[in-house]
Copies of this chain bind each other. A is one copy, B any other.
């Protein structure tokens, strides 16, 4: 559900860094939804392919996220989420002196399948099973 796309400078992250970022994000989302919902794709972008305000930028991390499974229930939840993810990412971004920008879109829950299955609604028995088994399976409830 969340699909995270992380554009980063060439050579910024080792595979270990990348897995640690993906783990930290999966730990956050995994409290509320099946952990395997969390997809993270990293893409290195050279400074001559990345411009901020018309200037090449060699130290920028640009993150773009699609949220599918959940929408924010309140303004406080929304603000808390961004505070949290900025904290989680700090060791790999702010603390290393990179600039960064993050934006999230919310896309329609009903236009989403995993392994060909429409994921179960939040809080259902089927979602609990997907969460416990950490994999997609056919619905057992309507």
Binding site for B on A (CB under 8 A): 3, 7, 15, 18-19, 22-23, 25-27, 30, 34-43, 45, 48-56, 60, 62, 64, 66-68, 72, 75, 78-79, 82, 86, 94, 99-108, 110-116, 118, 134
Contact = CB atoms under 8 A, between A and B. Distances in A.
A27 B64 CA distance: 23
Copy number in the complex reads 3
Nearest to A69: B103
A103 B94 contact: no
A71 B54 CA distance: 22
Contact of A39 (B41, B62, B94): B62
Contacts of A34: 53
B62 A41 contact: yes
B112 A108 contact: no
Contact of A86 (B36, B55, B116): B116
